[in-house]
Structure 1
Amino acid sequence: MPTIPLPRDPPRLSLWLVRPPPPDSAAASRLAARELDAAEVRRAELYLRPQDRVQYLAAHIALRRILAAATGYPPERLRLGREPGPASARGTGRPVLWDPPVPLHFSLSHSHGLILIGTAAVVVGVDVQRTPTIDTVRLCGPTLHPAEWRELARLPERSRPAAFAQLWTRKEAYLKGLGTGLRRRPALDYLGDGTDADAPARPSGWIVRDLRVGPRHAAAAVLATGAEPLITLSSLPVACLYDGPAGAPLSAARPLA
């Protein structure tokens, strides 16, 4: 009698949103840079604007605390690095957690007061962007895949900034998943909405999802799987970055979707 394969659990993609505190607030002064490694501290010091420095600190502390909750390791003991990037995009590569006790991939993005972090057992990419001006759309649009640019050009001008932001987050999330970042030309891959009759398929082997994160930002996530994932999106209060045990910030998470 043939064996009937048991159904496998769907891949899980966990997403968190964090808003950094104002740079002159008591919350900002409590951010624990001691949980970061030396390279992260040096990078934070390069930011000239206080709000950018606080956003960077908040993003990386949140990432380390989320990874600590998943692994049981203290945030400051986590070893983060980069995989070797593709030969066609030297100097790049996905950020990785070295020697995790369980399969664990992550991706991080932050833009103008909003931080997005994703974790999964397979390769993940996330991106968040503030909606740009129409001038930015006009400048950057021609660098897109031709079918993507045609789709945007058909929209009323007032609708293009939000549509461009959503498209661009799909593209950057995908390029982060590949490990190339923007060293791979944006025109090479199609991440549009499929309304152009001559548009190719989106990249195979990847699930691409738009995320609702508020009226002023767009966000997207990609997952290296062919199976439909189980996606959770939660908001982390800023106090999770300094209150309570460093490895357990997720108990205060508020589900958003």
Structure 2
Amino acid sequence: MSHATDGVWVLDLDDELLRAATDPGWLDASEVARAERLRDPAASRRYVTAHATLRLLLAEASGTGPDAVLLLRAPCVACGEPHGRPFAPNAPDFSLSRSGRFAAVALGGAQDARVGVDLEVRDPRASLEPLRADVLAPGETSHDLLRTWVRKEALLKASGEGLTRRMTTIRADDPAVRDLDTAGLGLTEGGAGTAGGTDRAGDPVDLVAAVVGVAAPVALFTGASRASTRVRQPMPLAPSRESDA
């Protein structure tokens, strides 16, 4: 693992250049089967693009080819069966999150680094209020329940506990987790273009995202990023706003 540097990237899964830069043939049989079980063609296509891009980033970080990246599952922390946290031998620790048209990938910068990332598209029509009792720890308050949820998801992904641990047992103000400044990426609801990547016309997309174990600023990974043999980092963005959770 000679090329690894920590990083966190947001993907527009409808970016035609990104889809063109990845190969569905990189996915293993279980990933292909899961994609085929998704009845919505857009959801299936986005799943494939997200997992192919994950392999591309892991390959670059570990100095191998995307088709050589092997994804395995650690034992479940609750039952010991091999359906726990995913990992790739001889590659950085990673975390993947998808929400509609977007995904986020985080890579650790050290062999023993543990990372977790979560991303959600804020839908003003939806409310998490009915789940408040299932999200907040005793004595914990939140003015933004979605951000609280996302921060806790990132923590649980990093620990490998996932759904086996209740959110009410951890706090969103844990200093290990930080918010990501996705507003600085300039993503909009216009969708992806055919020549220039993401179409910047339209209303901004409100992406709520958080990461554990990565110090690098968030970057947008597009099909244009594939033009280089190395993942190119952008200029650092402004510091993330602290969660008021």
**TM-score, normalised by the number of residues in structure 2:** 0.75
1:141 aligns with 2:119: no
| Cα pair 1:116 1:128 within 8 Å, conserved | yes
- The answer on whether the counterparts of 2:20 and 2:223 sit within 8 Å (CA) in structure 1 is no
Distance 1:68 1:43, change over 3 A: same
Within 1, Cα distance between the matches of 2:18 and 2:178?
32
The alignment partner of 1:250 has SS state of coil
Question: Is 1:38 matched up with 2:7?
Answer: no
Residue number among 141, 147, 152 corresponding to 1:166 in the alignment: 147
Match of 2:43 in 1: 52
**Structure 1: which amino acid aligns with 2:219?**
S
Query: 1:55 Cα shift?
Result: 1.4
1:189 to 149, 154, 170: 170
Gaps of 5+ in 2: 184-204, 238-245
Which residue of 13, 16, 19 maps to 2:9? 16
Higher strand share: 1
Amino acid of the structure 2 residue aligned with 1:230: A
Does the aligned pair in 2 maintain the 1:234–1:254 contact within 8 Å? yes
Pairs within 5 Å for 1:214-233: 214=183, 215-223=205-213, 230-233=215-218
The higher radius of gyration belongs to 1
SS of residue paired to 1:79: coil
The CA deviation at 1:118 is: 0.5
Identical-pair percentage = 27
1:151 alignment partner in structure 2: 141
Letter in 1 for 2:208: A
Unaligned 5+ segments in structure 1 are 1-11, 156-162, 193-201, 224-228
Q: In the alignment, is the contact (CA less than 8 A) between 1:89 and 1:183 conserved in 2?
A: no
Paired letter, 1:38? A
Give the RMSD, CA atoms, in angstroms. 2.8
After superposition, the Cα gap between the structure-2 partners of 1:164 and 1:89, relative to the gap in structure 1 and judged at 3 Å, is farther
Q: Distance in 1 between matches of 2:148 and 2:80?
A: 22
- Superposed displacement of residue 151, structure 1: 1.9
Residue 177 (structure 1) aligned with residue 158 (structure 2): yes
Instruction: Identify if the C-alpha distance between structure 1 residues 254 and 65 changes in structure 2 by more than 3 Å, giving closer, same or farther.
Output: same
